Structures are given as structure tokens and as C-alpha cells.
Amino acid sequence: MNPEQLRLFKRITLDYFAKLAPAEQPAMGEPHMHFGEPELLDYTSLIEIDGEYQGCIYLTSPEAMLRDVLLINGEQKDSPEHLKDMCQEFSNVLSGNASKAFGGNWRISVPRSLSLAEVRALDLPASTFVMPITWRGQRALLVVGLRAVREAA
């Protein structure tokens, strides 16, 4: 993963939100590193990656943000199933963006949509690179979590 790839990945992910509501542009906050228990919100859209490093990329979002996106898409219902469907849509976007940005250097898994309980049951990397995205007053986290391949084995 090089800086250009990461920059492209961030940009096309932000573009997705920008297209949802052109009048309300998303903003990428100052990134940080997080260690230990991952920072997780209500629903998580996740893909696993494998290449120079092993790990995953995920977008973890608050329920209110997913509800907003459902409304934008004309869906009034916001049951857990609907929210999870919306989360799956994010996962698909994430997967497409990762394929575009990281190209042939990385193997990318099938995208997954996970509730908080489900994602907590996974063994996610303990060191993460976290990029906050603020959109319509809500804050989601775009996270890259890597393990050095040798240490991951």
C-alpha cells in the first residue's frame, strides 16, 4: 500500500458520499492511529486484504448515518435488516474502491456487512490507521488495519 493508492482510495470513498448529497460534502478529519480494541460503531462494512501485509479495510458507521442514506435512496424503513442491507451497499462500494485503488498488488475478499456484535467477534488487527469521515453531522470511521505478514502467520 503506497501513499498514492491510499490517497485514491480515500478520495473515491469520499466521492461516494459526495454523490449521495451533493449539497452536503463529506469531510475527512485528521487521521490517527489506534491500538488495542478497535474503534467500532453500530455497523461495519468490511473487506479483508492480503498482499505485502494482511489485514482489512472497514468503514464503521453509526446507525443514524445508515438511516440517512436509506432515506436518500427513498427507503423509509429502517429495521436492522434494512440497515444491514445499507451497510452491505457500503461494503460493495468499499470493495470496488479498494480494487480500483490497490490494483493487482492485493487480494481482496468478498465484502461483508456486520453488526456491532458480529464485528466484535472477529480478530481484527490491533493497530489501525483511522480516518474519520464527517457527513451530515454524523461521523463514520474509515479504517485500515494491517498486520505484517510474518507476524500474522
Does position 31 bind other proteins by CB under 8 A?
A: yes
**d(Cα 97, Cα 11) in Å, to the nearest integer?**
9
d(CA 58, CA 63): 15
Binding test (CB under 8 A) with other proteins, winner from 19, 137, 151, 153: 151
Q: Which residues contact 44 (CB under 8 A, 6 or more apart)?
A: 58, 59, 60, 61, 87, 113, 114, 115, 116, 119
- Of 13, 11, 99, 19, the closest CA to residue 60 belongs to 13
7 versus 100: smaller Cβ distance to other proteins: 7
The stretch among 12-20, 84-92, 102-110, 141-149 that binds other proteins (CB under 8 A) is 141-149
> Counting contacts by CB under 8 A, is residue 74 touching other proteins?
no
CA–CA gap between residue 83 and residue 66 (Å, rounded):
6
Of 50 and 85, nearer to other proteins (C-beta) is 50
Position 77 contacts other proteins (CB under 8 A): no
30 binds other proteins (CB under 8 A): yes
Chain residues that interact with other proteins, rule: CB under 8 A: 1-3, 6-7, 30-36, 53, 125-127, 129, 144, 146-148, 151
